[in-house]
Structure 1
């Protein structure tokens, strides 16, 4: 690995995400569950979708807060997680405080959340690639979020059912990308631990 020195920095973004790969996996699984529920829920109303999204955004934000706390020794590493957490909780609270939101308004709330979250993920992906070569899962999730947000802003879909399907499809794709990233991070953590143990004098 060409950046071995940086990757062993205790507070590096790779170390933080690698040690907390299970949080990334939980966020991915949560997104997939949210997407599947939105697809298969019989007679899903816009009100139920708003509640589902609010719950998902808040829980996802809490997971991001946990990552920020674990990375709190290094502000440069912690702030992307902290910003993601703040955005998620705010989006969730807006959804709960505005349960009778219209389909179009819900689109713009989710679009803003996806755009800013995607930008933060892209920043984190750039930092991560400096430490873990050929890593692009996080960048893909960021690109997916940004594209999804832009589609909602410039091509808002009419009708509550179309909104449900669009959001559900995005959630599933986003969740799969996060799970793939979690698997990659877990493998890195395992190989990194093995390398440290093999170089530790007995």
Structure 2
């Protein structure tokens, strides 16, 4: 006697958006972990801090691209992602980077990215699921970017804490945008 283990799920194919949501979720988790490392490792040297911040900006840029890849606004995601990727590469690869250099590159990247993110999220709010989370993430980036530029003489501890908090919150908000979409928990099914 054999049990019938087939169900309607065995022949189901994953949605084309499932891969993007998983990628966004994994990159958001990576951003969250890097943010926590920055928060709890405040005595890192400036070069280590520059590498961690560069990596966090790079992951944030990849997140931006992944979030909007399947949308009708792919160009906006690529531009937003490129802003953070360029900032991340500059922060990590700048020869002899000082705290001022790292703070300025990071702050400028976050301000430009955050302002564009808020603008795109608001303009396309009818098309972007979870647009409020993305707008909030952009606003957090602008705020942290202004703090980083306005307070360049901050110690490694303060810079690590502020930027670690920023990337951790950014990663958490993008995790929410990836997995807490309207109808995600209600089991809504569209034909």
Q: What range is the shorter-chain TM-score in?
A: 0.7 to 0.9
How large is the RMSD of aligned CA atoms in angstroms? Answer: 3.1
The 2-side partners of 1:30 and 1:68 are apart by 18
Q: How many residues align?
A: 177
Any idea what the Cα deviations from partners look like across 1:76-100, whole Å, max 9, x if unmatched?
x011210122112211221232142
TM-score, with structure 2 as normaliser: 0.76
Task: Calculate the TM-score normalised by the size of structure 1.
Answer: 0.73
Query: Deviations 1:18-60 (Å, cap 9, x if unpaired)?
Result: 8722233223212211111112237411111111222232333
Instruction: Describe the superposition over 1:139-176 as per-residue Cα deviations: whole angstroms up to 9, x where unpaired.
Output: 11111111111222234352222111111111112222
Which residue in the other structure is 1:44 paired with? 44
Equivalent position SS for 2:154? coil
Alignment check: 8 A CA contact 2:133 2:177 kept:
yes
Greater fraction of residues in helix: 1
- Check the 8 A contact 1:17/1:67 in 2, yes or no: no
Q: Could you tell which deviates more after superposition, 137-146 or 37-46?
A: 37-46
Q: Does the C-alpha gap of structure 1 residues 21 and 107 become closer, same or farther in structure 2, counting only changes over 3 Å?
A: same
Partner in structure 2 of residue 154 of structure 1: 150
> Do residues 195 (structure 1) and 190 (structure 2) align?
yes
The answer (yes or no) to whether the contact 2:43–2:157 under 8 Å persists in 1 is no
Equivalent in the alignment of 1:100: 96
Q: In the superposition, relative to structure 1, how do residues 157 and 49 fare at CA in structure 2: closer, same or farther (>3 Å)?
A: same
Larger radius of gyration: 2
**Do the aligned residues in 1 keep the contact of 2:68 with 2:74 (CA within 8 Å)?**
yes
Query: Higher mean Cα deviation, 144-153 or 105-114?
Result: 144-153
1:29 aligned partner: 29
Of 98-107 and 181-190, deviating more is: 181-190
Superposed, 1:1-202 pairs within 5 Å as 20-41=20-41, 43-67=43-67, 69-71=69-71, 74=72, 77-131=73-127, 136-185=132-181, 187-188=183-184, 191=187, 194-196=189-191
Do 1:46 and 1:103's aligned partners in 2 also have CA atoms closer than 8 Å? yes
SS in 2 for 1:185: coil
Q: CA deviation at 1:189?
A: 9.6
Q: Deviations over 1:125-149 (max 9, x none)?
A: 2145324688521111111111111
Q: Distance in 2 between matches of 1:65 and 1:108?
A: 23
